[in-house]
């Protein structure tokens, strides 16, 4: 079993839809959870950062972490064509040291149709 | 926001030559920088962790003599692909840890094509 599992999709939705992206993980030591957005042939861009369990909202984006289920989600409201990209979840067990390195999901490609 | 600059964005080279890629944190100091490799439609694979003033820590299976990393200052890390071969063709991305939370901010990546 991989440490982080993410459905690779692809996922296609109409403009304005609510998008739900998810990752599961097996390492209970993970404490820090991130979502990155990556456009084609570009580096990942940090969208959301969450520590431990709970919800975090930033504009149209909401990140949820459920450590008891080892499950994290990213919700995108009122999706726009400009949201079309690959979304990667990432997590780590510490802020510094050996456990600070990020473990990434495989990424899911989202396409928002006008 | 934290900005990481990576240069060049694209390089084509002949087999057997060496290529240097630079990663700079423009508006913050980064004690730790990371180098990743990404194959098409795949996730990021960590190659090594670079700490300012000390030797890099390489992930299992990554040849340290092949991928030379230097982190001489708090704002600059370099990755040199030595004696590049076609199988080294890939997308290389760096990141820098910023702030007390050591959040990683990524460069735009370097596409290396070895002929």
Q: What is the mean pLDDT of chain A?
A: 92
Confidence of residue B63 (pLDDT cuts 50, 70, 90): very high
Contact residues, chain A, for B42 at CB < 8 Å: 106
Contact residues, chain B, for A36 at CB < 8 Å: 106
The residue among A10, A38, A44 with the most chain B CBs within 10 A of its CB, best to mutate, is A44
Please state, in angstroms and rounded to a whole number, the distance separating the CA atoms of residues A51 and A62: 14
State the smallest CA–CA distance between residue A24 and chain B in angstroms: 15
- What are phi and psi for residue A45, nearest 5 degrees? -115, 125
- Interchain contact, A95 vs B91, CB within 8 Å: no
The DSSP code for A53 is: S
Q: Does residue A54 register a pLDDT over 90?
A: no
- In sequence order, what are the residues at sequence separation of 6 or more whose Cβ sits closer than 8 angstroms to the Cβ of residue A76? A18, A19, A21, A60, A61, A83
Q: Does residue B35 register a pLDDT over 90?
A: yes
pLDDT at position A1 is 65
Q: Does residue B42 register a pLDDT over 90?
A: no
State the smallest CA–CA distance between residue A69 and chain B in angstroms: 23
Structural contact between residues B34 and B52, judged by C-beta atoms closer than 8 angstroms: no
**pLDDT 10s digits, B98-110:** 877 778 999 999 9
Question: Among A93-102, B8-17, B21-30, B37-46, which is the least confidently predicted range?
Answer: A93-102
């Amino acid at each position: 079993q991989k440490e982080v599992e993410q459905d690779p999709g692809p996922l296609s939705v109409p403009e304005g839809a609510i998008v739900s992206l998810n990752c599961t993980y097996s390492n209970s030591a993970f404490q820090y959870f991130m979502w990155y957005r990556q456009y084609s042939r570009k580096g990942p861009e940090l969208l959301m950062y969450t520590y431990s369990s709970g919800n975090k909202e930033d504009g149209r984006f909401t990140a949820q972490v459920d450590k008891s289920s080892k499950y994290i989600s990213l919700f995108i409201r009122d999706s726009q064509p400009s949201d079309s990209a690959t979304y990667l979840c990432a997590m780590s067990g510490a802020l510094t040291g050996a456990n600070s390195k990020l473990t990434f999901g495989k990424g899911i490609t989202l396409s928002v149709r006008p | 926001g934290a900005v990481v600059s990576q240069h060049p964005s694209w390089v084509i080279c002949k087999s057997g030559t060496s290529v240097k890629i630079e990663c700079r944190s423009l508006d913050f100091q980064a004690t730790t920088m990371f180098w990743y490799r990404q194959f098409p439609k795949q996730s990021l694979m960590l190659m090594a962790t670079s700490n300012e003033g000390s030797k890099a820590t390489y992930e299992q299976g990554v040849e340290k003599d092949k991928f030379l990393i230097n982190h001489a200052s708090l704002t600059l890390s370099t990755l040199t692909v030595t004696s590049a071969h076609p199988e080294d063709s890939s997308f290389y991305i760096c990141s820098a840890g910023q702030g007390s939370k050591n959040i990683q901010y990524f460069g735009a990546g370097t596409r290396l094509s070895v002929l």
